[in-house]
Structure 1
Amino acid sequence: MNHPAKSIRTFIGAKNFEESTRFYQTLGFTVKPLSKGFSLVTVKENICFYLQDYYFKEWCENCMIFLEVEQLESYWEAMKVLGLPDKFKGVKLSTIKHEEWGSEFFLHDPAGVLWHFGVFKNN
Structure 2
Amino acid sequence: MSILNKTSNLRPFVPAKDFAVSRAFYKDLGATEIWASDDMVLFQLGGSQFYLQAYYVKAWAENTMLFLMVEELEQLWEELRALDLVNRYEGIRWKEPTDYEWGLREIHLIDPAGVLWHFAKVLTPAG
Contact 1:21 1:31 in 2 (8 A): no
C-alpha separation between the residues in 2 aligned to 1:81 and 1:39? Answer: 25
- Measured after TM superposition, the shift of residue 23 of structure 1 is 0.1
Q: What residue ranges of structure 2 are gaps of 5+ in the alignment?
A: none
1:115 correspondence with 2:117 = yes
TM-aligned CA deviation for residue 33 of structure 1: 4.0
**Percentage identity across aligned positions?**
40
Equivalent in the alignment of 1:31: 33
Per the alignment, residue 81 of structure 1 pairs with 82
Higher helix share: 2
- Opposite residue 110 of structure 1, the aligned amino acid is P
Within 2, Cα distance between the matches of 1:97 and 1:44?
Answer: 22
Q: Does 1:91 align with 2:92?
A: yes
Report SS of the residue matched to 2:6: coil
Q: Count residues with an aligned counterpart.
A: 121
AA aligned opposite 1:69: V
* TM-score normalized by the length of structure 2: 0.89
1:52-99 CA deviation, whole Å, 9 max, x = no partner? 000000000000001100121111111111000111000012111111
1:6 Cα shift? 2.6
Note the 1:1-123 alignment, pairs <5 A. Answer: 1-2=1-2, 3-45=5-47, 47-100=48-101, 101-121=103-123
**Match of 1:9, as an amino acid?**
R
TM-score between both structures, scaled by the size of structure 1: 0.92
Structure 1 counterpart of 2:44, one-letter code: T
Q: RMSD of the alignment, in Å? A: 1.3
